Structure 1
Amino acid sequence: MRLIGYGLRVFPLQGVWRSPTGQFVCTCGSEKCQNPGKHPLASLAPRGLKNATTCQSTVERWFTRAPAANVGLATGLIIVLDVDPRHGGDESLRQLEAVHGPLPLTWRVLTGGGGEHIFFRPPAGVEVRNSAGLLGPGLDVRGVGGYVVAPSSLHASGRTYEWSVDHHPDETPLAPMPDWMLEALGPPATGPARPASEWRQLVAEGVVSGARNNTVARLTGLLLRKNVDALVALELMQAFNAARCQPPLSEEEITRTVGSIALKELKRREVRDGVR
């Protein structure tokens, strides 16, 4: 399977077949299936996307036993922007590109439902989570803990998922996720406190394109959680940007990022304090 050659982790999904009535239905056999051809094939992958692998022998065994199965592609090591035109995703993307410029050339899949899957490489050490609608109506992000249906799979519409001719992995490099997109998705989910040594190293060494916005967001969140005044945090981030971001972002971009994180922190405090 060529997907493995691109470093993509896969696992089997239920397939889709044409019933005697001419309709395409899920191989799970449920007449009320809400996600035909899109949910894990439990008989072969009982843990679903957690069974995803790049092991050639395992994948060959799965799809030899279930040749009609669709292919699930685990995300996290790669990020997928799911553009669903049925919910306005194409228009949302046009509006974002009008503000931020066109998305970089990267891998794209034409989905069986008439939309697109746009692939990106996340910044090193950054976990991008799943989200729905944060970037706009009809725009979902599949990251850590998520998956999408992969090319060659059959959709309930009767169409297959196919690599875009102009954005095929054989011809196109996988682009890093744009800074503005990372910023719009907000800072990474909070987890165990990072050691002080990590913060010192980050401030001392700085960051390069692909991680600048996310790093500014993380540092802003750290300062605000320590009750540093928002205006002071903004001045500190402008100084960090000028001295440690290569190349520096614009002052306007830093202001937007800090302002966004400050609003999130304000809402967090209101919830904490019971403010309505």
Structure 2
Amino acid sequence: MTNLLATALHAARCGWHVFPLTPHGKYPARGFTAWERNATTDHDQITAWWQRAPYNVGIACGPSGLLVIDLDLPKPGEHPPATWARRGIASGEEVFRHLCAEHGRPYPGDTRIVTTRRGGTHLYFTAPPGQRLGNTSGDRGKGLGWLIDTRGTGGYVVAPGSYVAARDGTGPY
């Protein structure tokens, strides 16, 4: 059994619906355009998929009942908006910690935490029952803030154990 197959099966045992991502990538593999509908916890289907190629593992957040908060680091040369720079805040995690404190809430360090390939953080939460929480990006629309994205229904994350090779950095999740 390959490490990536083991990663996919482990995620499925956690109740997370998985699907193949391109080998060494973070986008749905060719032929998996309906990834959210086809994501599964079925061990036989997962084994069949991962026997085809060394796919990375995608976790479909909606079917898995997950809300993942993605706390990014700035890209090289990117500087914080003035609002955050004045406070000495320079990362998504620092923005999120500030927001938690501002609302009288502790930073949720007691959840599953995954370090991303560029050093950011994914915080995994069980989505509230009966609510379809979608995706946000930064401080646009209903977003939480600069360098904070959320993934819920209609979104996915790269599973820990995957390995991404990209122009802006290579590394494991």
Other-structure match for 1:150: 159
> Which structure ranks higher in relative contact order (CA pairs < 8 Å, sequence separation ≥ 6)?
2
Q: How far apart, CA to CA, are the structure 1 residues paired with 2:116 and 2:124? A: 13
Q: Is the 8 A contact 1:113 1:155 kept in 2?
A: no
- Which structure has the larger Rg over C-alpha atoms? 1
Larger strand percent: 2
Deviations 1:213-249 (A, max 9, x none): xxxxxxxxxxxxxxxxxxxxxxxxxxxxxxxxxxxxx
Secondary structure of 1:95's match?
Answer: helix
CA RMSD of aligned residues (A): 1.5
Q: How far apart, CA to CA, are the structure 2 residues paired with 1:46 and 1:138? A: 27
Among candidates 38, 53, 58, match of residue 72 of structure 1: 58
User: Could you say if the C-alpha distance between residues 51 and 160 of structure 1 is closer, same or farther in structure 2, counting changes exceeding 3 Å?
Assistant: same
Moved more, 80-89 or 70-79: 80-89
Give how far 1:94 is off. Answer: 2.2
Residues 1:159 and 2:171 aligned together: yes
TM norm structure 2: 0.75
Residues 1:49 and 2:36 aligned together: yes
Q: Is the 8 A contact 1:81 1:142 kept in 2?
A: yes
Give how far 1:48 is off. Answer: 2.5
Deviations 1:38-95 (A, max 9, x none): 111123x2422321111100100111111x2111100121110011012631221121
Q: How far apart, CA to CA, are the structure 2 residues paired with 1:114 and 1:50? A: 30
Secondary structure of 2:172's match?
Answer: coil
Other-structure match for 2:124: 119
Other-structure match for 2:93: 90
Aligned residues: 139
Give how far 1:124 is off. Answer: 1.4
Q: How far apart, CA to CA, are the structure 1 residues paired with 2:73 and 2:99? A: 15
Q: Please, which runs of 5 or more residues in structure 2 have no aligned partner? A: 1-8, 76-90
Q: Please, which runs of 5 or more residues in structure 1 have no aligned partner? A: 17-36, 162-276
State the identity %: 39
Map of 1:218-233 to 2, 5 A cutoff? none
Larger helix percent: 1
Opposite residue 71 of structure 1, the aligned amino acid is V
Other-structure match for 2:69: 81
